[in-house]
Every structure is written in C-alpha cells, then in structure tokens.
Amino acid sequence: MTLATSMVLVVATTSIVYAQSAPAAEALFVEGRTLIKTGKLEAGCAKLAASERLESSVGTLLDLGDCREKLGQTASAWAAFRKAEAMAKRSGDDKKRQFEARRRAQELESDLSNLVFQVGKSTPGIVIKHDGEALDAAVLSMPVPVDPGTHTIIAEAPGHKPFKTEVSIGKGGRRYVVVPTLEKVPERIAPPAASPVVVRPPPPATGVVVVAPPPRYVTVNETWSGTRKGAVVLGLAGAAALGGGIYFGARASDLEAQSDTRCPDTTCNDAEGLRLNEDARTTALRANILFIAGGAAVAAATMMWFAGAPDEHTVLAPAIASDRIGASLVGRF
C-alpha cells in the first residue's frame, strides 16, 4: 500500500466519523436548548455538554457557558466562554461572537472561586485528584478555578495510604488545600517455615519389666520452671513497651493540640502548624506500635506462665526386670 493510498484511507475514515457525529451533536444541541427553555437547566446543560464533546463549535460553547452560569457553576461557564473565544479567534471571521465570549468570561472573573493545592514533603508517584480528575503537577500551588460547592480531594501513591478530604467553597472565595506526606503501608513479613517434627521409636526392651506393688504418688512442685522464667522476662519487656506507648501517646496529643491551635481549620498554610501535625502523626504511630507490641508481649507472657506450670503429681513405682531392679517415674497429666 502506497503512502498516497494510506492518506486517502485516513481522510475517508475521518470523514465517516465526522458524518456520524455531526447529526448526533446537532440532535443533542437542539434537545438541550429545548430542555433549557422549559426550565430544565441541569438536563439541558448535560445535553449541550455531550453535543460539544461530539462536535465542538462556538455556538454550542456560548450556549453551554450561559447554561452553566445560570446554574451558578461560574468556573465551568468561564471555561466554556474562554474556549469559545479561542475557537472564534482561530476561525478569523467570527469577530462578533469572539468579543461576546470574551465579554462574558471577563464578567465572571471577579466571581471565580479558587482552590490552591499545597503538597507537603514529596511522595514518589503521588497523584492528586479533584472530583475524580487528576491534576497536572504544573497547577499545584496555583489558584485553580472551581465551581462553588463541595469538592472531594484524593491523593494516592504506590505503597502509601491514600489521603481524602472534602472542601467547601463559596462564590468568589479562595481555599488552601494542604495535602500531607502520605504514610507508607508497612510491608508484610512472611512467618518462618516450621521445622519438621521427627518422631523416633523407643529403643526395644531388653527384658520383661514387671511392675510389682501398686504405685504411690509423690507431689513435685517446682514453680520457677524455665518456661516461667522466660514468661517473666517477656512480661517485663511488654510492660516497658506499654509504658513507652503511654509516653508517646501523651506526646502525640500535645503536638496535635499545638497544631490545632495554629491550624483550627481543615486547610492550613502555616508551615509550623504543618510540621507539628506531621510530628504528631509520627509520634502517634510510634505509640500505636509500642501499645501493640507491649500488649502482645504481656499476653504471650501470661500464656507462657500457665503453660510452664510443672506437673503437680508423678507416679513413682518400683520396676523389676530380668537384668535390673529399679524404679520408674511417670508424669501424671
């Protein structure tokens, strides 16, 4: 296939797609304007937006901007008017609608609401989404025009816990959204494989053992077995960990109180307040780790103490064999 043939096919394919999308865009445009005239603004705006996605035009953008403005969506209306102005300017022969689009956009600029995104310590691979749309890194720390209302902000990065918050903003307002350093997800460590248990059969008897008189029970009580000694050591370590957890927990609460004093709202641009908030989170994490480790150690020590209790009774009985005379000592469970 020659290059000329390939170009013809591309042009033909484009023409087919255009031929299919143009009638659909026109139908959506007409239906949208009809809905707007009957007072159904939200449904009408949705139809105009769908028409603009299929086939963008200056007229559709002007009507869409007007509809968005009536709904109070100032940023969306401003963006539609600006796009209409640029499209009319490129055509070069639509000065009237170009000036109209510019005038409408300028009238909205004083009422625009803006969000300013501030990111703490950089997290590798972080993606910040505003109402589900990923933000370009170039707009961070710059005013971003948004419609008045409540907006959902999500920050995500591989291997880190996501951050989510909601921010409400009124007409013409400006809010700062502080995205903290994302917390790493702890790696899971697989437990070591259990060693196989080898069971060896007892050695063969060399003679017949005859147990003579009935056995008598001898009480043996050794409180401080090796297991119980280990339980005491582990319990002391667990108590020390719990004490550390209490200290770091109190320290985290104090840091959080200092941070809240400097930054009482959800958003904050105070550097010291941000640092105090980060220190509080780190200290609280240490406290949680120590509480969990200390509690686990105390629980394990308790189980070891009871499991390490020696047998309270053993059976002491004489034994007579063909080549020896002695006694057998058997534990009683």
Would you state the pLDDT for residue 191? 66
| pLDDT, mean of residues 76-86 | 94
Distance separating the N- and C-terminal Cα atoms of the chain: 90
DSSP collapsed to 3 states, the chain: CCHHHHHHHHHHHHHHHHHHHHHHHHHHHHHHHHHHHCCCHHHHHHHHHHHHHHCCCHHHHHHHHHHHHHCCCHHHHHHHHHHHHHHHHHHCCCHHHHHHHHHHHHHHHCCCEEEEEEECCCCCCCEEEECCEECCHHHCCCEEEECCEEEEEEEECCCECCEEEEEEECCCCEEEEEECCCCECCCCCCCCCCCCCCCCCCCCCCCCCEECCCCEEEECCCCCCHHHHHHHHHHHHHHHHHHHHHHHHHHHHHHHHHHHHHCCCCCCCCHHHHHHHHHHHHHHHHHHHHHHHHHHHHHHHHHHHHHCCCCCEEEEEEEECCCCEEEEEEECC
Question: At 333, is the pLDDT very low, low, confident or very high (cuts 50, 70, 90)?
Answer: very low
Percent of the chain with pLDDT over 90: 32
Domain limits of the chain? 21-109, 113-179, 208-223+310-333, 224-306
Q: What is the CATH number of domain 21-109?
A: 1.25.40.10
pTM: 0.50
| pLDDT, mean of residues 12-25 | 59
Q: Please report, as a single letter, which amino acid is at residue 220.
A: V
Is it true that domain 113-179 has CATH number 2.60.40? Answer: yes
pLDDT digits (tens, 9 = 90+) for 84-119: 999 999 988 889 999 999 999 999 999 899 999 888
Looking at the DSSP assignment, which residues form a beta bridge with residue 283? none
